[in-house]
């Protein structure tokens, strides 16, 4: 396959290609790279033989592994499923990439830092013991992938959001939850003692290309934030409603994480050293709104 310039297109493979992130990566890069999408319908990543055959047939330069059980509650309730998909599935991809000489990007998570007992952002080289099944399995997957394929790139992603873009999949995310609350005039309860770098999915998507050229290793991959989730939502709501006071929609939850604030913030110095720079959370929302006028027009009026 050739691109617009008539050059042969580099081949990529995206797993979870119908999911929230995988669908956006596929859509964004479809004119630049020849992308083979693996979704749950055409590939079960827990099947090692099927994964090897699929990767051998696609012969990608880069595999972007987005397939997962991404819901932390599902993982907590069904650790066997979480291990099969989030650990074994990832290991299957790493083994297949080693066989075909493909590069691998693995999507990990800021949930790995949930055991951080300080208010400092977590650093890659100083990772606490994960406290939930999802975080534990993401950490285990990172370790096993790096042992099989030291050139692999593991990206620890923060909580992402986006508009329901051209019919692509939307997961539960802060922007979507806020919009639903606004539209239905329904209060939204958010934790006061919760800190994380909430990031526009399209910022992650745009930086994925550069991530494919990083040296093997684990990277925090998202924006910083000085505000709690509750405070962040207040700022975002004010941006969306432009002066109209709808702050009564937000209910502070002062009980959740009251004993020990949850700090999933990530230190981004390592990734900045490679020229990959994310805006902080509030700036990221501003950018998302500026770059999505088709959605904002409908909302503000």
Ligand X SMILES: NC(=O)c1ccc[n+]([C@@H]2O[C@H](COP(=O)([O-])OP(=O)(O)OC[C@H]3O[C@@H](n4cnc5c(N)ncnc54)[C@H](OP(=O)(O)O)[C@@H]3O)[C@@H](O)[C@H]2O)c1
**Residues of the shown chain interacting with ligand X in the complex, contacts defined by CB under 6 A:** 16, 18-22, 40, 43-46, 66-70, 85, 89, 107, 109, 157, 159-160, 169, 171
Q: At what angle do helices 90-100 and 133-148 cross, to 10 degrees?
A: 20
For the bound state, the minimum distance from the C-beta of residue 248 to ligand X, rounded and expressed in Å, comes to 27
DSSP character for 7? P
For the bound state, the minimum distance from the C-beta of residue 297 to ligand X, rounded and expressed in Å, comes to 26
Nearer Cβ to ligand X (6/167):
167
For the bound state, the minimum distance from the C-beta of residue 251 to ligand X, rounded and expressed in Å, comes to 22
For the bound state, the minimum distance from the C-beta of residue 79 to ligand X, rounded and expressed in Å, comes to 15
CA distances from 23 to 19, 93, 221 (A): 6, 19, 19
**CA distance linking residue 139 with residue 156, whole number of Å:** 10
For the bound state, the minimum distance from the C-beta of residue 98 to ligand X, rounded and expressed in Å, comes to 20
Nearer Cβ to ligand X (16/228):
16
* Exposure string over 224-235, b if 16+ CB within 10 A, otherwise e: bbebbbbbbbbe
For the bound state, the minimum distance from the C-beta of residue 158 to ligand X, rounded and expressed in Å, comes to 6
Burial label for 33, CB within 10 Å (0-12, 13-18, 19+), is buried
**CA distance linking residue 290 with residue 25, whole number of Å:** 20
Residue for token pair 């399995």: 137
For the bound state, the minimum distance from the C-beta of residue 107 to ligand X, rounded and expressed in Å, comes to 4
Nearer Cβ to ligand X (69/114):
69
**CA distance linking residue 203 with residue 281, whole number of Å:** 11
Nearer Cβ to ligand X (18/268):
18
Nearer Cβ to ligand X (52/241):
52
Q: Which residue is nearest to ligand X (CB)?
A: 19
Nearer Cβ to ligand X (21/91):
21
Nearer Cβ to ligand X (10/47):
47
Q: What number of other Cβ atoms are within 10 A of residue 239's Cβ? A: 15
Q: What number of other Cβ atoms are within 10 A of residue 258's Cβ? A: 11
């Amino acid at each position: 396959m050739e691109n617009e310039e008539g050059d042969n297109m580099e081949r990529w493979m995206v797993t979870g290609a119908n999911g929230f992130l995988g669908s956006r990566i596929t859509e964004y890069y479809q004119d630049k790279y020849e992308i083979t999408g693996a979704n749950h319908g055409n590939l079960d990543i827990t099947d090692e033989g099927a994964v090897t055959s699929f990767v051998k047939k696609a012969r990608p330069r880069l595999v972007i592994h987005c397939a997962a059980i991404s819901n932390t509650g599902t993982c907590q309730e069904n650790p066997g499923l979480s291990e099969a998909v989030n650990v074994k599935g990832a290991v299957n991809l790493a083994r297949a990439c080693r066989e075909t000489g493909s590069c691998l990007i693995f999507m990990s998570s800021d949930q790995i830092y949930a055991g951080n007992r300080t208010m400092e952002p977590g650093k890659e080289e100083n990772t606490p013991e994960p406290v939930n099944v999802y975080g534990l399995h993401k950490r285990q997957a990172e370790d096993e992938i790096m042992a099989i394929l030291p050139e692999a790139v593991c990206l620890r992603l923060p909580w992402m959001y986006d508009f329901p873009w051209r019919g692509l999949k939307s997961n539960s995310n802060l922007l979507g939850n806020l919009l639903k609350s606004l539209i239905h005039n329904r209060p939204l309860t958010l934790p006061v003692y919760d800190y994380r770098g909430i990031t526009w999915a399209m910022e992650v998507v745009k930086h994925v290309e550069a991530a494919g050229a990083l040296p093997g290793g684990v990277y925090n991959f998202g924006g910083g934030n000085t505000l709690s989730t509750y405070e962040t939502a207040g700022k975002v709501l004010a941006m969306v409603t432009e002066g109209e006071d709808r702050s009564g929609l937000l209910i502070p939850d002062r009980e959740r994480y009251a004993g020990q604030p949850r700090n999933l913030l990530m230190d981004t110095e390592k990734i900045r050293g490679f020229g990959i720079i994310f805006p902080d959370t509030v700036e990221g929302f501003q950018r998302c709104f500026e770059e999505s006028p088709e959605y904002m027009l409908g909302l503000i009026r």
